[in-house]
Amino acid sequence: MTGLLVLAFLLQSVVSSYLAIGGITPDFLLAAVVTYGLLFGWEVGLASGVIGGLLVDLIAARFIGLHVLSYGVVGLVSGLMEGRVFKENILLAPVGGLVGSVASQTIVVFCFWLYGLEVAPLGALRSTLLPAALYDMVLTILVYGRIYKYYLYLRPDPRGTIVIRRH
């Protein structure tokens, strides 16, 4: 789990600026958090969200804990859905990525508003939130497909860690 999160963080901090479309950059960590939650449950989703959010907060954020909160909530909620969805469903990854991205960005904007910062008008939110959510949706499809290939070999341990098992 940690290896993929570090890889996603490196991609997000180094490569994402080169993949920007109209100023919108992909959120590799969010795609990994949603994928981990949907495949391995709320414990792994929450842990990956907190770790991924802390990595982003330590490097790029003005407010330590903002991305820990947003990614943690997204990982927790996507993990709570794990037992209620079919992991083979083709719509799971895009819907999870779209909802996770909108939820994460909404939490960040709400926290900015709570801190008294000027929040962009609704039109600006639509011009950045929707394209970013669509970008994250496509990215989640790619990440989910890659991790799902190895899902049979990776199973969550009851303690919330991922253990490689041989069949």
pLDDT tens digits, one per residue of 110-165: 888 888 887 776 766 777 888 899 999 999 999 998 888 887 777 655 555 555 65
Residue type for 144, please? Y
Nearest to 160 by CA among 31, 5, 41, 34: 41
Residue type for 55, please? L
Sheet strands (E) in the chain: 154-156, 162-164
CATH for 2-164, among 2.30.29, 3.30.379, 2.120.10, 1.10.1760? 1.10.1760
- What is the Cβ-side half-sphere exposure of residue 54, based on CA atoms within 13 angstroms? 9
Whole-number Å distance between alpha carbons of 40 and 162:
8
Structure tokens, 117? 């910062």
What is the value of pTM for the model shown? 0.86
Backbone angles phi, psi at 154, to 5 degrees: -110, 120
Give the start-to-end residue ranges of the domains of the chain. 2-164
Highest mean pLDDT among 3-7, 48-52, 84-88: 48-52
Residue at token pair 């719509």: 91
pLDDT tens digits, one per residue of 42-60: 998 999 999 999 999 988 7
